[in-house]
Amino acid sequence: MKKYIIFAFACLFGATATQAQDEVETTVEADVVSNYVWRGLEMGQASLQPTLGVSYKGFSLSAWGSVGLTNADDNREIDLTLGYTTGGLNIGITDYWMTDGLDPENRYLRYNAHSTNHVFEANIGYDFGPLSLQWYTNFAGADGLTSKGKRAYSSYVEANVPFKLGGCDWLATLGAVPHTTTYYETDGFCVNNISLRADRDIKITDSFSIPVFGQIAVNPSSEHAYFVFGFKLKAF
């Protein structure tokens, strides 16, 4: 009898593990972009930006990076994000690391408050369908400063409106910084990101296509504008 019980538990465990494995989604992809623009700020020139991630029942863990392709002086970046999504609600924490911070030696494992290149950010948002809203706030690491030299707890709020037009998936974005911070190079409340992006798959063969996108972004605060083109390489 004991053998049958052990066998039954083994079958149950195997079935559960197989089901869990089937529900886990893995992402392996990379974007190639003409220049790296983030929240209205130019972070670098032509770049390779790989992504590796897993998700399971609303939970996700991803690693994202960026490395310059044409300019050796461009920053290298590694971001780790832990997130959870249920319905339209999403929350998450991101650890940003760049070769531009408080540590001149660019040590990744350096987490000291006043000598690190890491910035830790929390986010919360809701997708209403025709409109999504997202709020981001830095809570630790190499955050920006206020006009009085204090930690700014730099924040950024963004609204996105997706729509379809002319065979493309479009995304209109409006982003703003609510207060003074050197992190976003702002002095008080300002709109720093107005962008319009179009995505489309370019068919190469009957079984292979390449997703491409074009994006126009304007930063009213800095009075700068950017035109970005990119394509995605993805493992299926």
Question: 62-90: b or e for each residue (b if 16 or more CB lie within 10 Å)?
Answer: bebbbbbeeeeebbbbbbbbebebeeeeb
pLDDT of residue 22: 64
What pTM value is reported for the model? 0.87
Q: Cα separations (Å) of 227 from 16, 195, 222? A: 48, 10, 15
Is the pLDDT score of 189 beyond 60? yes
pLDDT tens sequence across 106-141:
999 999 988 999 999 999 999 999 999 999 999 999
Report the share of the chain in percent with pLDDT over 90. 82
